Amino acid sequence: MTIQEEIERLRAGNPHLGEIGPFVVPSPEALEQVAAELRQNPSQDVRIQLVKTLVSVAIQTDPFGTIAHSRILSILLDDASLVPDDAYRFALDRLAELGAPNALGGFAPALARLAADIPVSELFLVVAKAKAADALEAMQDLEKDPIWAKDDNFRIAQAALGDASVEDEFAVSFSATGDPQEKILLARRLAQIGSSTTRELLAREMRTPLVLQVPGSYELSVRVEIAKSLLYCHPDQTFLGRIESDEDYERIERWCEFQYGVEWSRPRPPFLAMRSLAGGHP
DSSP assignment string, 137-177 = HHHHHHTTSHHHHT-HHHHHHHHHTT-HHHHHHHHHHHHH-
Which pLDDT score, from 0 to 100, does residue 16 have?
A: 76
DSSP assignment string, the chain = --HHHHHHHHHTTPPP-S--GGGSS--HHHHHHHHHHHHH---HHHHHHHHHHHHHHHHHSSTTS-B--HHHHHHHHTGGGSS-SHHHHHHHHHHHHHB-HHHHHTTHHHHHHHHHHS--HHHHHHHHHHT-GGGHHHHHHHTTSHHHHT-HHHHHHHHHTT-HHHHHHHHHHHHH---HHHHHHHHHHHHHH--HHHHHHHHHTTT---EEEETTTEEEEHHHHHHHHHHHH-TT-GGGG---SHHHHHHHHHHHHHHH----SSPPPPP-SEEE-GGG--
Q: Record the pTM.
A: 0.90
Which pLDDT score, from 0 to 100, does residue 8 have?
A: 78
Which pLDDT score, from 0 to 100, does residue 28 have?
A: 87
pLDDT along the chain (282 residues), means of 10: 71 74 69 94 94 93 94 95 92 98 96 96 98 98 95 98 98 98 98 98 98 95 98 97 98 98 96 86 48
For residue 235, CA distances in Å to 55, 99, 103, 162 come to: 16, 9, 12, 22
Cα 91 to chain centroid distance, Å, stands at: 12
Quickly count: other Cβ atoms within 10 Å of residue 245's Cβ: 11
User: Cα-flanking dihedrals φ and ψ of residue 178, to 5°?
Assistant: -115, 10
Q: Which of these, 52, 42, 122, 120, lies nearest to 83 by C-alpha position?
A: 42
Q: Locate the domains of the chain by residue range.
A: 1-104, 190-280
Q: Which of these, 50, 130, 125, 131, lies nearest to 93 by C-alpha position?
A: 125
Judge whether 267 and 207 are in contact, CB under 8 Å.
Answer: yes
Judge whether 199 and 230 are in contact, CB under 8 Å.
Answer: yes
